[in-house]
């Protein structure tokens, strides 16, 4: 579903070059759950933005759903199949838009249902992410961060994506809400399988929600390990991350 081959990204500011991602290769199979771990500045977000086509690589190739992204004709299909979720939901929900309007956007943009059917579908999804139906009449500042992330998850799922990219989606939440959102994500993945790439600085968290973990340090992959075998990690950096998350 994703094939990353020798991909690299350099940023140049004021004659100073930063190698954010350096010669990285891996692939993600359909419905696979892949984690990207690493400390702050290790290149995790840059790698995710390259996959999301929000940044252009300076070297290497990226294939999504079997197509080289440099030769893709139909971006619309890809943008529907590939969704993203970030740390701060307020960065993507406009402050003066109520949650129903936010949830209606994909139905309007892609025209896959009439308004009455879309509103019914939204009610179904809101209950499915364990929120009260009436919450859709509220504005983003009126609900908690954990509830907003569940609204964002509902909006992602109602599009039936093939691939979802998560960049620290629970890092701003308290431990209780973090667990609620992660448990919900696992429930949704079991019911309606999709592949995902989940970025986190917390390797212990990744172990609970992924099949495989890619460990990054200074823009390089230092180790790729099956999540259930994390205890058998050989690279000292991976071991340090495991210790830090215990
Ligand atoms: P992480 O998500 O693992 O914390 P990032 O991918 O955000 O790491 O950053 C990797 C490196 O690239 C860091 O040194 C960061 O300062 C740099 N970087 C990220 N984005 C930019 C940018 N837009 N311009 C310049 N440097 C950047
Ligand atoms: Mg980051």
The answer to whether 114 and 93 have CB atoms below 8 angstroms apart is no
Q: Which residues pair with 17 in a beta bridge?
A: 12
Q: 122 CA to middle of ligand 1, Å?
A: 36
More confident site: 92 or 73: 92
Residues lining ligand 1, judged by CB closer than 6 Å?
11, 13, 18, 20, 38, 40-46
C-alpha closest to that of 36 among 234, 156, 168: 168
C-alpha closest to that of 129 among 105, 95, 113, 153: 153
Q: 145 CA to middle of ligand 2, Å?
A: 19
Q: How confident is the model at residue 246 (pLDDT cuts 50, 70, 90)?
A: confident
Residue 32 reports pLDDT greater than 90: yes
pLDDT of 73 reads: 81
Ordered domains of the chain (ranges, CATH): 2-245 (3.40.50.300)
pLDDT of 65 reads: 93
Mutate to test the pocket of ligand 1, among 8, 18, 206 (most ligand atoms within 8 A of CB): 18
Q: What is the mean pLDDT of residues 154-170?
A: 97
Residue 25 reports pLDDT greater than 90: yes
How far is 37 from 15, CA to CA, in rounded Å? 30
- Cα distances from 38 to residues 46, 146, 199, 218, 231, in angstroms, run 12, 24, 9, 9, 16
Write the DSSP string, 31-64.
T-EEEEE--TTSSHHHHHHHHTTSS--SEEEEEE
How far is 125 from 153, CA to CA, in rounded Å? 9
Q: How confident is the model at residue 98 (pLDDT cuts 50, 70, 90)?
A: very high
Q: How confident is the model at residue 15 (pLDDT cuts 50, 70, 90)?
A: confident
Residue 138 reports pLDDT greater than 90: yes
Which residue's alpha carbon is at the smallest distance from atom 16 of ligand 1?
A: 41
**Cβ-based neighbours of 198, under 8 Å, separated by 6 or more:** 33, 34, 35, 36, 166, 169, 206, 209, 210
Q: What angle do CA 142, 146, 148 make, to 5 degrees?
A: 50
Q: Which ligand is nearest to the CA of 216?
A: 1
Q: What number does the ligand 1 atom closest to the CA of 199 have?
A: 2
**Chain segment 193-227, per-residue pLDDT in tens:** 999 999 999 999 999 999 999 999 999 999 999 99
Q: 43 CA to middle of ligand 1, Å?
A: 6
Q: How confident is the model at residue 64 (pLDDT cuts 50, 70, 90)?
A: very high
Q: Which ligand is nearest to the CA of 13?
A: 1
Predicted model pTM: 0.96
């Amino acid at each position: 579903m994703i094939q990353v081959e020798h991909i690299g990204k350099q940023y140049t500011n004021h004659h100073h070059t930063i190698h954010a991602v350096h010669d990285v290769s891996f692939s993600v199979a359909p419905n696979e759950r892949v984690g990207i771990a690493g400390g702050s500045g290790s290149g995790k977000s840059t790698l995710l933005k390259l996959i999301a086509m929000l940044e252009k690589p300076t070297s290497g190739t990226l294939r999504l759903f079997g197509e080289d992204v440099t030769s893709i004709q139909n971006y619309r299909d890809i943008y529907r199949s590939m969704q993203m979720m970030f740390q701060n939901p307020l960065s993507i929900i406009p402050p003066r838009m109520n949650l129903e309007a936010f949830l209606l956007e994909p139905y309007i943009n892609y025209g896959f249902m009439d308004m009455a059917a879309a509103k019914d579908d939204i009610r179904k999804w809101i209950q499915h992410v364990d929120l009260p139906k009436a919450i859709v009449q509220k504005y983003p500042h009126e609900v908690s961060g954990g509830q907003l992330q569940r609204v964002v998850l509902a909006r992602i799922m109602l599009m039936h994506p093939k691939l979802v990219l998560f960049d620290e989606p629970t890092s701003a939440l308290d431990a209780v809400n973090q667990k609620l959102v992660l448990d919900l994500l696992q429930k949704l993945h079991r019911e309606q399988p999709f592949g995902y790439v989940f970025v986190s600085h917390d390797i212990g968290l990744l172990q609970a929600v992924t099949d495989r973990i890619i460990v990054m340090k200074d823009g390089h992959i230092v180790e790729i390990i099956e999540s259930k075998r994390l205890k058998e990690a050989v690279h000292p950096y991976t071991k340090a991350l495991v210790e830090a998350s215990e």
